C-alpha cells in the first residue's frame, strides 16, 4: 500500500470559484491565473474546472505550451512577457499574448521577424515598484510599441500592491487613469483581492478593468484572510490534503512529544501520529495549536513538524466518543469525508504564511487525484 497521504483536486470547486469572480466583475473578461502549475493544483488537473475562463494567464513558457496542448485555443497571456528573443518565436507559433514591462522587451519585439500579429499588454509601474514602466515613461513606451509593424494591439495593465490590505488601490488607480486616460486599448488591473473587494471603490477613482486577473480565489483562498474567510467570500477549497493516522501514543503528564521536546503534556493525553510532514509540503514552522481535522473533528497539532510525520492531540475525539486508530482519516486542509472542512488559510495563518504558499509548496512525492464526483 502506498503511504496514505493524498491530495485531491476539486474541479467543481474551481468552477464555482470562477463563477464567483464573474459575479463580482460581471462586465469583465476573466484571465484565470494558472502560474506556478495552477498554484500547485496542476494545470492539467485544474483545466476542466477553469475552461470557462476567457483566457489563461501564467508566466512560464512551458506552462503556456501545456495549456495549448490541452486544446485551449483562446487567449494565453505571459504575465512577465518574454525573457529572451527566441521566446517571441514561441509567442508567434502558439499565439501567446505577452506583457511588455521594459525597454529591452520592446527592443526584442522590434527585432522579431514575424507575420503573426503580436498582442501585447503594456505594464505600468503605478506604485508596486516591481515590473513596469513608470508613469513618466509609459506614454513614450506606448508610442514606441504602437509604431512597430509587429504589434497588432496594445492593452494597458498595472498590478496592485495593497488590494488585500488597508492602503487599498485608489492611489494606483488614480495614477493609472491619469496617464492612460486618452489612450486606446483594453485595461487589465484587478487581481483576486481587487476583483472581490474593490469592484465598486467607494468615492475613489473609477476602476475600469476589461480583463480581471484572479488567481488565489479560483483555488478557494480568501485574498484578505483573516479579515475575511473563504466562507465569507463564498469560495470552495480547490484542494484537499488528507492522510491517515499511522500510530497512536499514550503520553504521560510531563512527557514531551517530538524533536526538541517543544511540547510537554500538562496532563495525560493520547496523540495520533499522521503520515504528513514537511517533505510533503506541510509547513515545518506550523506550531503547536495549528488546526487539523481527525475523522472530521477539529483538533490541534502538537510538537514539531518533522520530515514525514506530525503528531496531533486526540483529546477532542475522545471527548466526542469517536474512536481513533491506525487508518483514521486526517484532513490537513480542505474537505473531510464527513463534509467538515478546514480552510487552508487557517493552517497558513497558524504557520505565519498564506494559503498561496501552502498550495504552491505541495511536494512532488504527494500523489494527487482529481475528484470526479
Ligand atoms: C499572480 C498574479 C495575479 C493573480 O494574483 P492573485 O493575488 O492570486 O489573484 C494577477 N496579476 C499578476 C500580474 C500576477 O502576477
User: Which of 79, 97, 124, 238 should be mutated for ligand 1, with most atoms under 8 A from CB?
Assistant: 79
Active site residue 35: yes
Confidence label for 131 from pLDDT (cuts 50, 70 and 90): very high
Active site residue 123: no
131 and 208 co-located in one domain:
yes
- Last residue of one domain, picked from the residues 219, 254, 287: 219
Number of domains in the chain: 2
Does residue 229 form part of some domain? no
Residue 228 above 90 pLDDT?
yes
Does residue 353 form part of some domain? yes
Rounded to an integer, the average pLDDT of 251-263 is 98
- Last residue of one domain, picked from the residues 158, 186, 219: 219
What does the pLDDT read at residue 223? 96
What does the pLDDT read at residue 198? 84
Cα 132 to Cα 147: distance, rounded to the nearest angstrom: 19
Residue 203 above 80 pLDDT?
no
Q: What is the CATH number of the domain that holds 178?
A: 3.20.20.10
- pTM of this structure: 0.96
For the stretch 287-324, pLDDT in tens is 999 999 999 999 999 999 999 999 999 999 999 999 99
Does residue 4 form part of some domain? no
124 and 39 co-located in one domain:
yes
- The dihedral through the CA atoms of 85, 87, 93, 94 has a sign that is negative
Percent of the chain with pLDDT over 90: 96
Catalytic residue among 35, 39, 47, 282: 35
137 and 250 co-located in one domain:
no
Does residue 364 form part of some domain? yes
Residue 205 above 80 pLDDT?
no
Cα 101 to Cα 46: distance, rounded to the nearest angstrom: 28
68 and 201 co-located in one domain:
yes
Does residue 158 form part of some domain? yes
Contacts for 315 with CB less than 8 Å, ≥ 6 apart: 269, 270, 299
Distance of CA 215 to the CA centre of its chain: 5
What does the pLDDT read at residue 201? 57
In this structure, of 197-206, 263-272, 305-314, 363-372, the range with the lowest mean pLDDT score is 197-206
Terminal alpha carbon distance of the chain = 24
Residues with CB under 6 A from ligand 1: 33, 35, 79, 159, 191-192, 213-216, 223
What does the pLDDT read at residue 359? 98
- Altogether, the residues listed in the chain come to a count of 373
HEC-encoded secondary structure of the chain = CCCCCEEEECHHHHHHHHHHHHHHCCCCEEEEECHHHHHCCCHHHHHHHHCCCCEEEECCHHHHHHHHHCCCCCCEEECCCCCCCCHHHHHHHHCCEEEECCHHHHHHHHHCCCCCCEEEEEEECCCCCCCCECHHHHHHHHHHHHCCCCEEEEEEEECCCCCCCCCCCHHHHHHHHHHHCCCCCCEECCCHHHHHHCCCCCCCCCCCCCEECCCHHHHCCCCCCCCCCCCCCCCCCCEEEEEEEEEEEEECCCCEECHHHCEECCCCEEEEEECCCHHHCCCCCCCCCCEEEECCEEEEEECCCCCCCEEEECHHHHHCCCCCCCCCEEEEEEECCCCCEECHHHHHHHCCCCHHHHHHCCCCCCCEEECCC
Atom of ligand 1 nearest to the CA of 59: 15
- Phi and psi at residue 359, in whole multiples of 5°? -70, -40
Q: How far is the CA of 115 from the centre of ligand 1 (A)?
A: 31
Q: Is 143 exposed, middle or buried (0-12, 13-18, 19+ CB in 10 A)?
A: exposed
Atom of ligand 1 nearest to the CA of 192: 9
202 and 107 co-located in one domain:
yes
- The dihedral through the CA atoms of 87, 88, 94, 98 has a sign that is positive
176 and 39 co-located in one domain:
yes
Q: Which domain holds residue 212?
A: 12-219
Q: Cell 500547485 identifies what position?
A: 40
Rounded to an integer, the average pLDDT of 48-70 is 98
Catalytic residue among 29, 47, 259, 278: 259
What does the pLDDT read at residue 204? 56
Residue 1 above 90 pLDDT?
no
Q: How far is the CA of 191 from the centre of ligand 1 (A)?
A: 5
Does residue 168 form part of some domain? yes
Average pLDDT, whole number, for the chain?
96
193 and 102 co-located in one domain:
yes
For the stretch 98-129, pLDDT in tens is 999 999 999 999 999 999 999 999 999 999 99
Q: Which residue's CA is minimally distant from atom 1 of ligand 1?
A: 215
166 and 78 co-located in one domain:
yes
CA atoms within 13 Å, Cβ hemisphere of 54: 14
Q: What is the CATH number of the domain that holds 255?
A: 2.40.37.10
45 and 142 co-located in one domain:
yes
- Last residue of one domain, picked from the residues 190, 219, 248: 219
245 and 196 co-located in one domain:
no
172 and 245 co-located in one domain:
no
Cα 195 to Cα 212: distance, rounded to the nearest angstrom: 7
84 and 183 co-located in one domain:
yes
Does residue 226 form part of some domain? no
Residue 60 above 60 pLDDT?
yes
Rounded to an integer, the average pLDDT of 204-225 is 90
Rounded to an integer, the average pLDDT of 339-360 is 98
Q: How far is the CA of 371 from the centre of ligand 1 (A)?
A: 26
Does residue 230 form part of some domain? no
What does the pLDDT read at residue 199? 75
Amino acid at each position: 500500500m502506498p503511504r496514505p497521504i493524498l491530495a485531491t483536486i476539486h474541479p467543481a470547486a474551481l468552477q464555482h470559484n470562477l463563477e464567483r469572480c464573474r459575479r463580482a466583475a460581471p462586465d469583465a473578461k476573466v484571465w484565470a491565473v494558472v502560474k506556478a502549475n495552477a498554484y500547485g493544483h496542476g494545470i492539467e488537473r485544474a483545466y476542466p474546472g477553469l475552461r470557462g475562463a476567457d483566457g489563461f494567464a501564467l508566466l512560464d513558457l512551458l506552462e503556456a505550451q501545456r495549456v495549448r496542448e490541452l486544446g485551449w485555443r483562446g487567449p494565453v497571456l505571459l504575465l512577465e512577457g518574454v525573457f529572451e528573443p527566441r521566446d517571441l518565436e514561441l509567442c508567434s507559433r502558439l499565439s501567446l499574448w505577452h506583457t511588455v514591462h521594459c525597454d529591452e522587451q520592446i527592443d526584442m519585439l522590434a527585432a522579431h521577424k514575424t507575420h503573426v500579429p503580436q498582442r501585447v499588454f503594456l505594464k505600468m509601474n503605478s506604485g508596486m515598484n516591481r515590473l513596469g514602466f513608470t508613469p513618466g515613461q509609459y506614454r513614450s513606451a506606448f508610442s514606441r510599441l504602437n509604431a512597430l509593424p509587429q504589434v497588432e494591439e496594445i492593452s494597458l495593465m498595472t498590478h496592485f500592491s495593497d488590494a488585500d490590505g488597508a492602503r487599498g488601490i485608489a492611489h494606483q488607480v488614480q495614477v493609472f487613469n491619469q496617464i492612460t486616460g486618452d489612450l486606446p486599448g483594453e485595461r487589465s488591473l484587478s487581481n483576486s483581492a481587487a476583483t472581490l473587494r474593490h469592484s465598486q471603490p467607494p468615492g475613489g477613482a473609477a476602476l475600469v478593468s476589461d480583463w480581471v486577473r484572479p488567481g488565489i480565489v479560483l483555488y478557494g483562498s480568501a485574498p484578505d484572510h483573516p479579515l475575511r474567510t473563504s466562507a465569507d467570500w463564498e469560495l470552495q477549497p480547490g484542494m484537499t490534503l488528507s492522510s491517515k493516522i499511522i500510530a497512536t501514543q499514550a503520553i504521560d503528564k510531563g512527557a514531551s512529544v517530538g524533536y526538541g521536546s517543544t511540547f510537554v503534556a500538562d496532563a495525560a493525553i493520547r496523540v495520533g501520529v499522521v503520515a504528513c510532514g514537511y517533505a510533503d509540503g506541510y509547513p515545518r514552522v506550523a506550531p503547536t495549536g495549528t488546526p487539523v481535522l481527525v475523522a472530521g473533528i477539529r483538533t490541534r497539532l502538537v510538537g514539531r513538524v518533522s520530515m514525514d510525520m506530525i503528531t496531533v492531540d486526540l483529546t477532542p475525539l475522545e471527548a466526542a466518543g469517536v474512536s481513533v486508530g491506525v487508518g483514521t482519516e486526517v484532513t490537513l486542509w480542505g474537505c473531510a469525508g464527513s463534509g467538515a472542512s478546514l480552510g487552508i488559510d487557517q493552517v497558513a495563518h497558524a504557520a505565519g504564511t498564506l494559503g498561496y504558499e501552502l498550495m504552491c509548496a505541495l511536494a512532488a512525492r504527494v500523489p494527487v487525484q482529481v475528484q470526479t464526483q
